[in-house]
A and B are shown apart, each in its own frame.
Chain A
């Protein structure tokens, strides 16, 4: 083949620009630590990366939701445990009063204690968490019970997303724990007991003992309901944690460049560029030799 001078210079230019392009690509991978710097680097992996990143964002959101709702649910559980204590105290007093040998003046002071316990229970039932009143159902802006012990909330479940298609109930029903919806209206029972003590009504006092026994188990049931819900959140949290770990592994596999490989590639390309430059220099010096001297 006849070789003209421009063929030689063109081919030098072409090979130099080709190795330099490859060097740029290799240095981009090595310096960013990412295999995919543009979707065209690997379209399938780039699309997969978008999916994985969306799932990671979701798993992170689920986890922060779980952390958020766990606080209020734990508070509900411990509030209910205190409520059980209060009701048991009231029950003790009622039992003591019901044995018939208590003097009338003591009954009056017992009535006073019951009234105090009732206020204590009211404060517990109106406990507020980060999302508002814990036991008002969906009426989180309204106290669960009025000062007179009348329920002002509703029996609605509040739900939160704790996993794909996994909406967990994150509140405990105040209606079930404290009102007739769960069996006994605890505040009415305490009021009735207070009246029975004041009026020295043995039948009323013994009815109060029964009602408070029932109330105690009713609130205990609500407490264990909170425990079950917390367990479910814990399970959901560990599922999300595992999901996140496996997604992070997937993300790493899709995107992260192997540092050793990237560095080796970079060095290979560097010496390729050096060789291309050396070769070009030789060719060019032949071309520029004075052939006409």
Chain B
């Protein structure tokens, strides 16, 4: 070992520790960067052939990265974001049926039936008859508006899903280009930590939109699959789009380049898209259908009874509502029969032409429909059927809320696991910093010492 060797040793130590300080600096700088993975400098002893030099060298950084936890994080993020989307959609859906806030249909339905009850007590009074028409039109307006709220919500959810698909495509393009950059960097033997951290973060963001699975292909490139289809393979990205099928349900389509368009809806399991799809095509659809059925049942029962009676001028009763031939779309299309509008005398209170105008048998029969099992295939009363809708939408909203809470808790647990492995601890960095700082100071002291010795030697040896 020579004095020059000592100088070399010192300089290597300076380099290695300054690299380590640099890495510590990166960690501190990125303490709050989402998706950043803590780096540890890899310091190794310098080997020169079979010689022991005692030197040190920095060979790179290692990332505190756990692929399993990361995959769990994608899953958990996907599930909790699906539950959140469904939850917020259902909170909106249940506001359509929120009778405690006065937005439900229970008041208009009651008003409709009680108007017949008042009619029976006073069949010749024009105001009472007008009140029947007003209650009937109040009922149609209330169901029309409930139905259009649901239709509008389904439309909004579709637009939202289309926005999400656009976002996914943006992520896919960025992931493809990151994949290319990473393989170039790694091919050139460079450290790709920053690029890898960016890619992880993009994947986490992507997993909030749709279910994400990652794998590595034969060439060592990352393959990202979503909803059972390959979204990104190496530098190639597919594109997703959201559309509707013939029955109006949301579909998720995938296309790679100019290849065929594939319907991948059935494999959608996570992320906002899955939550939106369930809220739109399962929850809102079911409530919309129940509302249609109830409207159709009430409308049909009243029309039938009204047609069985006689108006105050002795003419045969006409339908009170215009109604389609089936329940489908009934809630949005039901309206007061135009022939009845402004003609309160046509309300059929009497049960025969002879008993008009004072007869009230038919009005009693109309009022009694409130107590008859006219809804849900003749199994419940109208009020019960509506109560069932409220109960059902409440249960759905409640379970969505609980799901969302449970899954959020799961996600934050996984996030904690991930942060525990990969997050930056400033305490740790403080210790590392002072560690490397001392080593760096000691190394400079080493160089000073070697240099002093050398100087002394040169002075002594100089005649």
Contact = CB atoms under 8 A, between A and B. Distances in A.
B110 A54 contact: yes
Contacts of B422: 4
A154 B90 CA distance: 58
A138 interface: yes
B124 A161 contact: no
Given A3-B425, A10-B419, A138-B354, A43 B359 contact: no
Contact of B110 (A40, A57, A65, A165): A57
B420 A4 contact: yes
A165 B372 CA distance: 9
B121 A10 contact: no
A3 B31 CA distance: 12
Query: How big is the B interface, by class?
Result: 35 or more
A170 interface: yes
Contacts of A40: 90-91, 94, 394-398, 400-401
A195 interface: no
A134 to B, nearest CB: 10
Contacts of B398: 40-41, 43
B119 to A, nearest CB: 9
Nearest to A65: B121
A54 B106 contact: yes
A131 B359 contact: no
A131 B425 contact: no
Interface in A18-54: 34, 36-44, 46-51, 53-54
Interface string B356-375: 11111100100110110000
B120 A161 contact: yes
A5 B420 contact: no
Nearest to B359: A138
A68 interface: yes
B357 A140 contact: yes
Contacts of B401: 40
A85 B238 CA distance: 99
A181 interface: no
B232 to A, nearest CB: 27
A53 B420 contact: no
A164 B401 CA distance: 39
Contact of A65 (B98, B118, B400): B118
B433 interface: yes
A3 B394 contact: no
A136 B212 CA distance: 80
A11 interface: yes
Which residue of A3, A43, A57, A138 has the most chain B CB atoms within 10 A of its CB atom?
Answer: A138
Interface string B87-111: 0001100110111110010110111
Given A50-B387, A131-B123, A57 B118 contact: no
B113 interface: yes
Nearest to A133: B358
A69 interface: yes
A132 interface: yes
B358 A139 contact: yes
Interface in A263-281: none
A39 B394 contact: yes
Interface residues of A, number: 62
Interface in B400-456: 400-401, 412, 415-416, 419-428, 430, 433
B167 to A, nearest CB: 24
Nearest to B395: A43
A156 interface: yes
A260 interface: no
Contacts of A50: 99, 104, 106, 383, 386-387, 390-391
Contact of A159 (B120, B393, B394, B396): B120
A38 B94 CA distance: 7
Nearest to A64: B118
Nearest to A48: B387
Interface in B280-318: none
Contact of A58 (B107, B370, B392): B370
Contacts of A34: 100
Given A51-B384, A58-B370, A5 B364 contact: no
A4 B430 CA distance: 13
A203 interface: no
Contacts of B433: 292
A245 interface: no
A39 B118 contact: no
A46 B394 contact: yes
B125 interface: yes
Interface string A67-110: 01100000000000000000000000000000000000000000
A8 to B, nearest CB: 9
Contact of A60 (B38, B106, B114): B114
Contacts of B392: 43
Contacts of A160: 117, 120-121, 360, 364
Contacts of B383: 50-51, 54-55
Contacts of B384: 51
Contact of A39 (B98, B116, B371): B98
B173 to A, nearest CB: 28
Contacts of A51: 383-384, 387
A14 interface: yes
Given A62-B117, A138-B356, A68 B122 contact: yes
14 contacts: A1-B420, A4-B422, A11-B412, A40-B401, A49-B100, A50-B391, A53-B110, A58-B113, A62-B117, A131-B358, A156-B359, A158-B123, A159-B361, A291-B427
Top 8 closest A-B pairs, CB basis?
A4-B423, A39-B394, A47-B391, A43-B394, A140-B358, A61-B114, A54-B383, A57-B110
